[in-house]
Each structure stands twice: as C-alpha cells, then as structure tokens.
Amino acid sequence: LESKEEFSHKTLAMDVMRPRRSDPPLSVITQDGMSVEEVESLIAETSYSGFPVVVSHESQRLVGFVQRRDLVISIENARKRQEGVVSASRIFFTEYTPPQPPNSPPPLKLRGIMDLSPFTVTDHTAMDIVVDIFRKLGLRQCLVTHNGRLLGIITKKDILKHMAQMANRDPDSILFN
C-alpha cells in the first residue's frame, strides 16, 4: 500500500469516507428536539454502529458521537422505567434542557451516553496518516470534517476494504484476519 501510494497521487480521507457521492446522506442525530419515535425509526431503518450528533442539519456542526447499542439500551430503559417517557418525548444531548411546552411529555436526556470528543480528521488528511492514527489509537471510526462541517465517516472496515483494494486483493480474504 505505502509504496504504491508514493508513486500514484496520495489517497485522502475524502476518497475513503462515506457517504460516497451516490449514497444517501450521513445519518445524524440533532442535539436537541428529535423525538424518541424519530430516533427509534432511524435505528430501525439503518444498521450503522453509531451516529454523529450535530447542532442542526443546517449547520452540520459536530457535537459528539453516540453508539447505536447505547441509544437502543437507553431508550428501552427510559420507556420502561422513566415516568412518562413516550414516543413523543424529545431527546436532548445538550447540557441544559429547555423548559418543555405545557402538556408535553417529559424529555429524555442522553448527553451521558455521548462521546464528547470523537476523533476527527479533515477531508484533505492523507490516508496513510489516518491509517496510522487508527492503528495507534485503536479507533473503530473517525469523523471527517471540512471547515468545521461534518462531511463523512470512516470506519475500521472502510480502511481495511480500502487497503485490500489498494493491494488488489479480495477484501473478504483479509477482513477478518
């Protein structure tokens, strides 16, 4: 991989990250105001291991990263145990929860399950550096930004597939080594 890359032009984070141009946009959660129901459908409709949390869809400013399994467990527990948490309850990842309108169900506060400093690189970071960081820090995923806006995600498996492609081998043959 390394030697090949030195001869050809360098692969950058933007070449490996998802979504690809033709893919649907990144599945993100906004930090305030999504309902329990909305987050449950996001979980049901996707199989991603985690979701970036952003300030808003418009800004795409990254706030943190939440693992799918932590979301599932927290929502299940809240529905079972927390007085009054229902489909229409709002989910908050913010530090402070604004007062809810009268007669609305109690909010669900999930800041505690969010990774507040997920690893990020810019879209122009060279992939050999990204690979190095994954190895050294034992990362499972890394987010990609451009001018502070969230653009995409690179998982460990994306990197393994990329390396297999570079080495011109069948991805499945090295994925699980």
Residues that bind ligand ADP (CB under 6 A): 18-19, 26-27, 47-49, 51, 153, 155, 157-158
| Alpha-carbon span 168 to 32, nearest angstrom | 44
Shortest CB 6 distance to ligand ADP, Å = 26
**Which residue's CB is nearer to ligand ADP, number 103 or number 173?**
173
Shortest CB 108 distance to ligand ADP, Å = 20
Is-contact 12 61, C-beta < 8 A?
A: no
**Which residue's CB is nearer to ligand ADP, number 4 or number 140?**
140
Q: Is 166 exposed, middle or buried (0-12, 13-18, 19+ CB in 10 A)?
A: middle
Shortest CB 81 distance to ligand ADP, Å = 27
**Which residue's CB is nearer to ligand ADP, number 28 or number 78?**
28
**Which residue's CB is nearer to ligand ADP, number 16 or number 78?**
16
State the DSSP code for 119.
-
Shortest CB 13 distance to ligand ADP, Å = 12
| Alpha-carbon span 67 to 115, nearest angstrom | 8
| Alpha-carbon span 64 to 82, nearest angstrom | 24
